[in-house]
């Protein structure tokens, strides 16, 4: 999403054109995003509003994935502290958990533009008391229309520093979101590509899931060196041949 299809609220025109071409060629694609601030339905509305064909069923978010992980770790009805956007809280409640900020069994944290010292202190208390710590993603920064803004990873680092408890990371670079996308698409890893703008998250996740990877330089410009390299590097999605969708 961020840095590949748009920057903040500004669509990347080369991406809009590319996805329109792929959709017209009936080339299957799915979106996997570390961004936990919107639901799949909200992301679909945003993409379609920019001219990028998208359906909610093919958008995998860390908010839904984090809530799903809670069901594996806690009983239904458990009290959970959520530090993040409304979409993350809604995903947790949807799966039967109670929102609270004390006496909780887990702290789930993502991007929170209203993050405060008070929230940090309450998360610290919960984690020192034995609560599970789940983080949606480790992204240090996000591309925006005017440059960059702090990502969820900066908040996770603050909580980890205060409590001494490292988070269980749900999103990329873990391969879980990519594996889910493969199941939804019904395509094998050998003929599916992972496309992203960050080596440390997107490219690592794609390679861990067994996919070839494409780094596009329209988003975060990371500084290396990295222990791995993408299979391909491009400046914009316009460099991907339009015939790719007809070579099945």
Q: Per-residue pLDDT for 156 more than 60?
A: yes
Which residues form the domain of 97?
63-168
- Nearest-angstrom CA–CA distance, 68 and 128: 24
Identify the CATH number of the domain in which residue 148 sits.
3.40.50.1000
Q: Are residues 71 and 160 in the same domain?
A: yes
Q: Are residues 143 and 204 in the same domain?
A: no
Boundary residue ending a domain (150, 168, 186): 168
In the chain, % of residues over pLDDT 70: 96
Question: Would 146 be classed as within a structural domain?
Answer: yes
Cβ partners under 8 Å of residue 177, min gap 6: 32, 33, 34, 60, 62, 65, 170, 171, 205
Residue 243: the pLDDT is 56
pLDDT digits 0-9 by tens, 163-209: 999 999 999 999 999 999 999 999 999 999 999 998 989 999 999 99
Question: Would 1 be classed as within a structural domain?
Answer: no
pLDDT digits 0-9 by tens, 79-104: 999 999 999 999 999 999 999 999 99
Q: Are residues 69 and 159 in the same domain?
A: yes
- Nearest-angstrom CA–CA distance, 19 and 162: 43
pLDDT digits 0-9 by tens, 95-153: 999 999 999 999 999 999 999 999 999 999 999 999 999 999 998 888 776 788 899 99
- Nearest-angstrom CA–CA distance, 22 and 53: 9
């Amino acid at each position: 999403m961020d840095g590949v299809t748009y920057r903040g609220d500004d669509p990347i025109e080369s991406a809009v054109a590319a996805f329109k071409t792929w959709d017209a060629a009936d080339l299957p694609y799915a979106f996997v995003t570390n961004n936990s601030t919107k639901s799949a339905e909200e992301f679909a509305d945003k993409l379609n509003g920019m001219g990028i064909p998208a359906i909610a069923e093919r958008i995998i978010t860390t908010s839904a994935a984090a809530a799903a992980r809670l069901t594996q770790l806690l009983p239904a009805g458990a009290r959970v502290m959520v530090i993040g956007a409304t979409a993350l809280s809604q995903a947790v409640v949807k799966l039967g958990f109670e929102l609270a900020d004390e006496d909780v069994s887990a702290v789930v944290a993502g991007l929170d533009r209203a993050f405060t010292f008070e929230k940090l202190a309450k998360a610290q208390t919960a984690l020192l008391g034995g609560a599970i710590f789940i983080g949606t993603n480790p992204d240090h920064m996000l591309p925006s229309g005017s440059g960059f803004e702090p990502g969820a990873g900066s908040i996770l680092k603050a909580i980890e520093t205060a409590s001494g408890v490292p988070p269980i990371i749900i999103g990329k670079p873990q391969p879980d979101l990519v594996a889910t996308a493969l199941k939804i698409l019904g395509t094998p890893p050998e003929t599916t590509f992972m496309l992203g703008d960050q080596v440390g998250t997107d490219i690592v996740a794609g390679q861990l899931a067994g996919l070839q990877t494409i780094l596009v330089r329209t988003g975060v410009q990371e500084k290396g060196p990295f222990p791995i390299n993408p299979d391909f590097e491009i400046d914009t999605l316009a460099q991907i041949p339009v015939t790719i969708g007809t070579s099945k």
